[in-house]
Structure 1
Amino acid sequence: MMRAAVISLTESGRALSLRIANSDFISAERFCLQSHSDFGSRCFNDLGGLVSDIFPKYDALIFVCACGIAVRTIAPHIQSKSTDPAVIVTDEGGRFVIPLLSGHIGGANALAVRLAELLGAQAAVTTATDTGGHFSPDSFAAANGLIITDMNKAKAVAAAVLEGEKIGLVSEYDYVGLPKDITADTDCKTGLYIGSSDKSPFEVTLKLVPQNIVLGIGCKRGTDFSAVDILVRMALHTARIPMERVSQVATIDIKKNEQGLLEFCQKYGFELRTYTARELMETAGDFSSSMFVKKVTGVDNVCERSAVKCSGGKLILRKKAANGVTVAAAEKPLILDFERKML
């Protein structure tokens, strides 16, 4: 669920921020100017200082104020459409919801539409592909967990769509909901390749790489961060799996507080999922087995079993071990949906 900061400056804004925070499609934290705050909000007196602090910490910033105030406040912090949070403004009367920043990749457009539905407002979405009902590579990639490898080529695809050019598609994965702008015909100048190889089937090829790899990691008690990090990076490099494709890390529940493993997940922004020994032993598959590991943990293999359990898919990297750490990788099954939205 998207983590959002809802920022208000007036009494009317405070009341509207409550309505927004009570929605069921975002996890919201409210920030209210101290003179117009309440028990459930965090107070501030310096808007610029607040935004400087929270800009990189939330998936979305929702301002309840005038557009000009929001624009001037976020301006010093804007870096890239691939990294900036979604930024949305709604007026204090809740009549208009305006996505200002990261409309596609950050999900601001989709969030604005949902907020407008909640408030009975009008969403003022201005991006050309959305207003014309056309395919957006940014939005499609974000909604389907795909990595855009070249933003310039993404812009070229979007421009070709707006000019009425058919966009070709070559995908290593199944898909549904193909829009009118996209064709499975490879006889196109501009197109999408979705997969992890080095294919470039079109003169202008936008490569989209799925972020659907789960790492299973086991380690001895007290293993430090560097041991985990070195083995994982070496194993992925050998298997030609970019770290960017990893979405989660899984392990046995007795390792949930291992500092080295937690530091590794924190560094790369990975969610850590844990399972009991029984859950791992009940996971079907062809796994390597260690009686020593089973004696210590209750399961004969932690890394392979946890990767498969978490992913629901198959192993693509079998157990590698060094310095008290084991790692394996599995790929989540993926069906691409061209109609899927961010929220």
Structure 2
Amino acid sequence: MNISIFSVTENGRQLSQRVAEMLRGEHFVSRYCFHKHTDDDSAVFWNMGSMVGRLFQRSDAFIFICACGIAVRAIAPYLGTKADDPAVIVMDDHGKFTIPVLSGHIGGANCLAEVIAEAVGGTAVITTATDVGGKFSPDSFAVANDLIITDLKAAKEIAAAVVDDEKIGFSSDYPHSSLPDELTAFGICRTGVYVGHDMSAKPFEVTLRLVPKNIVLGIGCKKGTSEDSIEKAVSDALGRYDLDITMISEVCTIDIKKDEEGLCSFCQKYSIPMRTFTAEELMNVKGNFESSDFVLETTGADNVCERSAVLGSGGKLMIHKTASDGVTVAAAEKPIYLDFERKIL
């Protein structure tokens, strides 16, 4: 996570140092101190609202060590939707209380607040109903297991049903740990959660579809292929199987394409990490792949897209080699295991 910490007082500055030191092992942390109380490890601000505005789009979480009202006024002009807003946490400058005020589930503010409070010897003040009651939260479960929430309205209705002690159905195309008490895989339920790639699935009257982000693309292309050509080839391949670009977890290819401008630009556009393999690594992948003598002579591997998709995913092909305008695309599904005890951070 990219975390921005703001402090106003001298006590706050010292506390921000402690919090930053604790978090930096796992996260990228930046400190911002009011100009009257600063140090060499922090940036200086005179107007908190302006500084927050500059950082809002690139920060995953904000930690404000100040009065709650100051923090709320600083972030208010920049708030968007529940799905997009960063986690926001407020602490008093003695570290007694750590309060998640925004994006407790999807952004991970609740979990982050608990981690911080334990580290500084304070108390995390959690106010979300499911957490207070120790109950299943569809938002937290989805984020912790890298699942895409397709319908925030359905997620909200299911969370409300959990709080009202209504039994929630659960259907999954993937193996999982033991279900929490609020969920059941048997019987007829009004509301329920479905995990899988079938966007037409509706096993419950109110169905929250949680879609795994576990598809690995294998891409091969000619030298100088444009970003637009790669994007079109990927879109066409995914479209045939009713899959969406948001389901892609990674793009894999051969190492001689690591600096291919069009491919790199495509990955950057959609914020998809790219991983490369040597020809030898690709040729060692077991399976039945469409072989090309030309590709073998050119790259050292007889098939780039299918082999790299399988190697990168550790799973099986779900889209075999498709070719379009000098681009080859294949996709494989990475095996996943759903864990109801997994935390966001």
Q: Same fold (TM over 0.5)?
A: yes
Post-superposition offset of 1:86: 0.8
Q: Which runs of 5+ in 2 are unaligned?
A: none
SS of 1:218's partner is: strand
Match of 1:77 in 2: 78
Counterpart in the other structure of 2:13: 14
Partner of 1:132: 133
Change (3 A) 1:329 1:131: same
**1:254 Cα shift?**
2.3
Q: What is the alpha-carbon distance in structure 2 between the residues aligned to residue 196 and residue 154 of structure 1? A: 17
1:263-314, Cα deviation, whole Å (9 max, x unpaired): 2112212112222223222222222222222232222222212211221111
Match of 1:55 in 2: 56
Q: 1:217 to 1:115 in 2, by over 3 A?
A: same
Deviations along 1:173-232, one digit per CA (max 9) or x if unpaired, are 111031000011141111111112212111222111111111111222222110111111
2:160 equivalent in structure 1: 159
Residue identity matched to 2:284: E
Q: How large is the RMSD of aligned CA atoms in angstroms?
A: 1.6
Deviates more, 1:288-297 or 1:114-123: 288-297
Q: Which amino acid in structure 1 is aligned with residue 176 of structure 2?
A: Y
Q: Report 1:1-343 matches (<5 A).
A: 2-23=1-22, 24-197=25-198, 198-343=200-345
Q: 1:46/1:199 Cα in 2 relative to 1: closer, same or farther (>3 Å)?
A: same
- When normalised by structure 2's length, the TM-score is 0.94
Paired residues of 1:52 and 1:77 also in contact (CA < 8 A): yes
SS of residue paired to 2:194: strand
Indicate the SS of the match to 2:166: coil
Matched residue type, 2:148: I
Secondary structure, aligned partner of 2:285: coil
Contact 2:179 2:340 in 1 (8 A): yes
Q: Distance in 2 between matches of 1:82 and 1:147?
A: 10
Task: Provide structure 1 residue ranges, at least 5 long, that are not aligned to the other structure.
Answer: none
CA distance in structure 2 between the partners assigned to 1:120 and 1:251 by the alignment? 47
Tell which deviates more after alignment, 301-310 or 272-281: 272-281
Instruction: Give the letter for the 1:250 counterpart.
Output: C
Range moving further from structure 2, 76-85 or 123-132: 76-85
Q: CA–CA distance in 1 between the matches of 2:39 and 2:297?
A: 54
1:136-157 Cα shifts (integer Å, max 9, x gaps)? 1111111111111111111111
Kindly provide the amino acid, as one letter, of the partner of residue 199 in structure 1. A
Mapped partners of 1:320, 1:136: distance in 2: 40
TM-score when scaled to structure 1?
0.95
Letter paired with 1:284: K
Given residue 93 of structure 2, which amino acid in structure 1 is its aligned partner? Answer: E
Give the match's secondary structure for 1:318. Answer: strand
Residues in 2 aligned to 1:124 and 1:66: alpha-carbon distance in whole angstroms: 15
Q: Which moved more, 1:285-294 or 1:211-220?
A: 285-294
- The structure-2 alpha-carbon separation of the partners of 1:300 and 1:22, relative to structure 1 and needing over 3 Å to count, comes to farther
Q: Structure 1: which amino acid aligns with 2:137?
A: S
1:279/1:34 CA distance change after superposition, 3 Å: farther
- CA distance in 2 between counterparts of 1:113 and 1:74 reads 22
In the alignment, the residues of structure 2 paired with residue 292 and residue 34 of structure 1 have an alpha-carbon distance, to the nearest angstrom, of: 64
CA distance in 1, matches of 2:312, 2:269: 20
Once residues 283 and 53 of structure 1 are traced to their aligned partners in structure 2, the CA distance between those partners, rounded to angstroms, is 46
Q: Quick check: 1:21–1:27 contact (8 Å CA) kept in 2? A: no
- The whole-number CA distance in structure 1 between the counterparts of 2:195 and 2:114 is 28
How many Å separate the matches in 1 of 2:7 and 2:285? 49
Q: In the TM superposition, what whole-angstrom CA distance separates every residue of 1:233-266 from its partner, at most 9, and x where no partner exists?
A: 1110012112221122122222222221122112
The verdict on how the C-alpha distance between 1:171 and 1:55 changes in structure 2, with shifts beyond 3 A counting, is: same
Name the stretch that deviates more: 244-253 or 172-181: 244-253
**Secondary structure of residue in 2 paired with 1:336:** coil
Letter in 2 for 1:94: G
Q: Distance in 2 between matches of 1:7 and 1:177?
A: 40
Instruction: Calculate percent identity across the aligned residue pairs.
Output: 56
Residue 58 of structure 2 aligns to a residue whose secondary structure is: coil
Partners in 1 of 2:210 and 2:288 — Cα distance? 30
- Which runs of structure 1 show a deviation greater than 4 angstroms over 4 or more consecutive aligned residues? none
One-letter amino acid matched to 2:51: L
- Alignment-mate amino acid for residue 236 of structure 1: L
The more displaced of 5-14 and 187-196 is 5-14
